[in-house]
Amino acid sequence: MDYLPLFFKLTQQNVLLVGGGNVALRKARLLCRAGATVTVISHQVCDELQNLLDAHAGISIVGEYHASLLEGKALVIAATDDNSLNERIHYDAVQHNIPINVVDNPALCTFVFPAIVDRSPVVIGISSGGSAPVLARLLRARLETWIPKSYGNLASIASSFREQVKKRFQSVNQRRVFWESVLQGQIAEKIFSGRTEEASKLLQEKLDRSDPEHSAGEVYLIGGGPGDPELLTFKALRLMQQADVVLYDALVSADVLDLCRRDADLIFVGKKRDNHAVPQEGINDLLVRHAQQGKRVVRLKGGDPFIFGRGGEELETLKAHNIPFQVVPGITAASACSTYAGIPLTHRHYAQSVRFVTGQLKNRTSDLNFEELVHPNQTVVFYMGLHTLPQLSSKLIEHGKPGDTPAAIVSRGTSSDQKVLTGTLATLPGLQEKAKLEAPALIIVGEVVTLHDNLSWFGDEVLAQNLIPETASKT
Ligand code: SAH
C-alpha cells in the first residue's frame, strides 16, 4: 500500500491554495465542502473561484506566492502550471511539515486526492496512488450507481439511535449483530425508498423487542474454493464479511482469507499430513465455545466442505449442542483443477462418469475398490494422492487398467503457480519424481486428459506431453 487512506477533518482549518484557475476552482469546491477556510494566492483569480470564496468566508490574495503564507496552514495545494513554482511550494511545505498536494504531479505530493463518492456522512475515497486516476474515476462511477443516494440517511438514522443501542447492548458484538440486521434489512429498504419516519419507528420497535441476553451465535461452514478468490460464491463472501471468528485450514489461500472481515479473529486450525496442528475434537470444541459466546463463527475450508472436508462431523457436534449453522458449498478441487487445466471431467466420447476418490492409503495398502476404478469410460480423480502416486498407479495397472491410460497431476490448481504434468498411468510416477510438483495436487486418470493439449488455457507452464498418439487421436 503506497498511501494510507485517512479522512482529514478540515472544518475551520486554514488551507492554502496556490493558483486561481479552473483546476484551483475544483479543489476549492472540495475544500469548502469539507468546511475549510481557504486562502487563495494567485496573480489572477477567476470569477467563479472568487464567488466561491466570498460565499465560504475564504480569502483571495492577488500576488506572488511566498513561503510565509504557509504559516498556520493545515494543508497546501499547488494548482499552478509553473513547474519550478510547484517545486518550490513542495519544498517549503515539506520543510514546514505541512501536507502538500501538487495537482497532477504525484512525485511532489505527500498526499493525494481520491476519487470521492459522497453519501455524507458516509464518504468513500478511491485512489490509485496517482498512477491511474482514470481507473479510480471509473470505479467511482460504478459505486455511484451501486450505492443508493440515500445511503447517507441510513448513517444519520443510525447515529440518532446510537446511544440507545449502546445502553441496551453491553457487548460490542451484540451491538454489531443488531446494527448489521438493521442496516441490511427492511429498515434500510424503507430509508432507500424515502420513508424515513417509518424506518425510525421500525428501528425503535426492533430495539424494544430485542433480547440482549439471548442473541445466540451461529456457525457458517463455508467452502472457500481451491484458492482463486474469484471462485468464491457471493454467499460465502457475504458471510465471511460478518465473521467475528474465522477458523481456517491450510488449504485456504491467503487471498481468500484476506476477504474476511478485517476485525475478525483468524485462527489457524490446519492439518498438514503427519502434522496435526489442532486435532478434530479441538476444532469441534473451538466452534462450540465461540458460538456459545454469541459470536458468528466462520469455519472456512478449502474447496467444498462436504468433499473430503470432514464438514459433516463438525456439524454433528454443533447439532448436538443446539448451535444453529449454515453451510455454503464451495468449488471442489476436482472441478476447479480440471477446468483450469482444460481437462473436462466428462466427455461424450471419453468418459460418461467421474469418481472422486481419496488417494490416502492405510498402511501402504488400500481399502479402495480398485476393481471399480479400472472400468473404462470413466474419469477417476484422486484427492490427497500425490505421495501415494506410485502405489495408486501400480494398483490400477495390476487390476487391469491399461498402463497407457492418460493421466495428469494438477498442482496448486487455480493459483498463479498452477502446474500441470501429463503422462500415462505408467509414466506419471517417474515424471513426477523428476518434476517434483508440490502439494496440494490432484491426480486425474482417464482419456479426458488428452484434451488438455488442446484446451489448456490458464497459466503458461505445461510440463510434459507424454501422451500416446493413438489415444490422442481417438474421437
Ligand atoms: N474439501 C477439499 C478437499 C480437501 S482434501 C475440496 O473440496 O477441494 C485435500 C486435497 O484436495 C489435496 O490433497 C489435493 O488433492 C486437493 N486440493 C485442494 N486444493 C487443491 C488445489 N488448489 N490444487 C490441487 N489440489 C487441491
**From 249, 295, 301, 401, active-site residue:** 249
Q: Distance, CA 330 to ligand 1 centroid (Å)?
A: 12
Q: Distance, CA 302 to ligand 1 centroid (Å)?
A: 7
Q: Distance, CA 385 to ligand 1 centroid (Å)?
A: 10
198-202 average pLDDT score: 92
pLDDT higher than threshold 80 for residue 216: no
Q: What is the DSSP letter of 298?
A: E
- Listed in sequence order, the residues at least 6 apart from 286 whose beta carbon sits closer than 8 Å to its beta carbon are 247, 267, 269, 278
Q: Is 190 a catalytic residue?
A: no
Residue 463 lies in a domain: yes
Match 456457525 to its residue by C-alpha cell.
219
**From 118, 206, 265, 271, active-site residue:** 271
pLDDT score recorded for residue 317: 94
CB of 418 sitting under 6 A from ligand 1? no
Residue 146 lies in a domain: no
pLDDT score recorded for residue 472: 39
Looking at the DSSP bridge assignments, the partners of residue 268 are: 248
Q: What 3-state DSSP class applies to 35?
A: coil
Q: Give the atom of ligand 1 at the shortest distance from the alpha carbon of 412.
A: 23
Same domain, 177 and 67: no
CB of 359 sitting under 6 A from ligand 1? no
Domain count, the chain: 4
Nearest to 256 by CA among 300, 296, 218: 300
Residue 8 lies in a domain: no
pLDDT score recorded for residue 145: 84
Nearest to 224 by CA among 332, 322, 137: 332
Same domain, 319 and 248: yes
Same domain, 461 and 413: yes
Given phi > 0 = left and psi -120 to 50 = alpha, else beta, which region is 398?
alpha
Match 469548502 to its residue by C-alpha cell.
32
Q: Is the distance from CB of 31 to CB of 23 less than 8 angstroms? A: no
pLDDT score recorded for residue 150: 85
> Which CATH number characterizes residue 306's domain?
3.40.1010.10
CB of 227 sitting under 6 A from ligand 1? yes
Protein residue with least CA distance to atom 3, ligand 1: 308
Pocket test for ligand 1, best of 251, 335, 445 (most atoms within 8 A of CB): 251
CB of 303 sitting under 6 A from ligand 1? yes
Q: Distance, CA 431 to ligand 1 centroid (Å)?
A: 21
Q: Is 201 a catalytic residue?
A: no
Query: Which of the four pLDDT bands, split at 50, 70 and 90, describes residue 276?
Result: low
CB of 332 sitting under 6 A from ligand 1? yes
Pocket test for ligand 1, best of 252, 255, 308 (most atoms within 8 A of CB): 308
Instruction: State the DSSP string of 144-192.
Output: HHHS-TTHHHHHHHHHHHHHHHHHH--SHHHHHHHHHHHHHSHHHHHHH
Last-in-domain residue among 113, 142, 175? 113
Contacts 24+ apart (CB under 8 A), 26-35: 27/77, 27/79, 27/101, 27/103, 27/113, 28/52, 28/53, 28/58, 30/113, 30/116, 31/77, 32/56, 32/58, 33/118, 34/8, 34/10, 35/10, 35/11
How many Cα atoms sit within 13 Å of 345 on the Cβ side?
19
Same domain, 373 and 399: yes
Protein residue with least CA distance to atom 24, ligand 1: 441
Residue 136 lies in a domain: no
Match 460478518 to its residue by C-alpha cell.
242
Q: What 3-state DSSP class applies to 219?
A: strand
Candidate from 34-48, 115-129, 427-441 with smallest mean pLDDT: 115-129
Q: What is the DSSP letter of 473?
A: H
Nearest to 8 by CA among 69, 59, 75, 70: 75
Last-in-domain residue among 113, 137, 172? 113
Residue 276 lies in a domain: yes
pLDDT score recorded for residue 366: 62
Q: Give the atom of ligand 1 at the shortest distance from the alpha carbon of 413.
A: 23
> Which CATH number characterizes residue 412's domain?
3.30.950.10
CB of 302 sitting under 6 A from ligand 1? yes
Pocket test for ligand 1, best of 383, 411, 461 (most atoms within 8 A of CB): 383
- Count the neighbouring beta carbons within 10 Å of the beta carbon of residue 252: 25
Match 430495539 to its residue by C-alpha cell.
207
Same domain, 226 and 261: yes
pLDDT score recorded for residue 172: 84
Give the three cell numbers for residue 241: 464479511
Q: Distance, CA 440 to ligand 1 centroid (Å)?
A: 6
Q: How far apart are CA 357 and CA 350, in angstroms?
A: 19
pLDDT higher than threshold 90 for residue 330: yes
Q: How far apart are CA 241 and CA 171, in angstroms?
A: 19
pLDDT score recorded for residue 465: 46
pLDDT higher than threshold 90 for residue 328: yes
pLDDT tens across 369-415, in order?
A: 999 999 999 999 999 999 999 999 999 999 999 999 999 999 999 99
Q: What is the DSSP letter of 299?
A: E
Report CA 396 to chain centroid distance, whole Å. 41
Radius of gyration of the chain (CA): 31
> Which CATH number characterizes residue 193's domain?
1.10.8
CB of 337 sitting under 6 A from ligand 1? yes
Q: Is the distance from CB of 64 to CB of 86 less than 8 angstroms? A: no
Same domain, 258 and 373: no
Looking at the DSSP bridge assignments, the partners of residue 356 are: 381
Same domain, 282 and 360: no
pLDDT tens across 117-161, in order?
A: 999 989 999 998 878 888 988 999 899 888 888 888 888 899 999
- Count the neighbouring beta carbons within 10 Å of the beta carbon of residue 58: 20
pLDDT tens across 70-89, in order?
A: 999 999 999 999 999 999 99
Q: Distance, CA 308 to ligand 1 centroid (Å)?
A: 8
pLDDT score recorded for residue 53: 97
pLDDT score recorded for residue 368: 87
Q: Is the distance from CB of 179 to CB of 158 less than 8 angstroms? A: yes
Q: Is the distance from CB of 112 to CB of 144 less than 8 angstroms? A: no
> Which CATH number characterizes residue 42's domain?
3.40.50.720
CB of 301 sitting under 6 A from ligand 1? yes
CB of 331 sitting under 6 A from ligand 1? no
**Distance between start and end Cα atoms, the chain:** 52
Residue 2 lies in a domain: no
Same domain, 342 and 448: yes
Protein residue with least CA distance to atom 2, ligand 1: 303
pLDDT score recorded for residue 272: 62
pLDDT score recorded for residue 470: 40
CB of 133 sitting under 6 A from ligand 1? no
Protein residue with least CA distance to atom 25, ligand 1: 441
**pTM for this prediction:** 0.73
Same domain, 248 and 178: no
pLDDT score recorded for residue 90: 97
Same domain, 358 and 295: no
Same domain, 341 and 469: yes
Q: What is the DSSP letter of 108?
A: G
Mean pLDDT of the chain: 90
Range of the domain at 192: 151-209
Candidate from 167-171, 247-251, 455-459 with smallest mean pLDDT: 167-171
Protein residue with least CA distance to atom 9, ligand 1: 384
Residue 144 lies in a domain: no
Residue 137 lies in a domain: no
Q: Give the atom of ligand 1 at the shortest distance from the alpha carbon of 305.
A: 1
CB of 222 sitting under 6 A from ligand 1? no
Looking at the DSSP bridge assignments, the partners of residue 358 are: 383
CB of 89 sitting under 6 A from ligand 1? no
pLDDT tens across 456-475, in order?
A: 999 865 444 444 444 433 33
Q: How far apart are CA 112 and CA 3, in angstroms?
A: 8
Last-in-domain residue among 296, 331, 366? 331
Same domain, 323 and 342: no
**354 vs 275, which has greater pLDDT?**
354
CB of 309 sitting under 6 A from ligand 1? yes
Protein residue with least CA distance to atom 6, ligand 1: 303
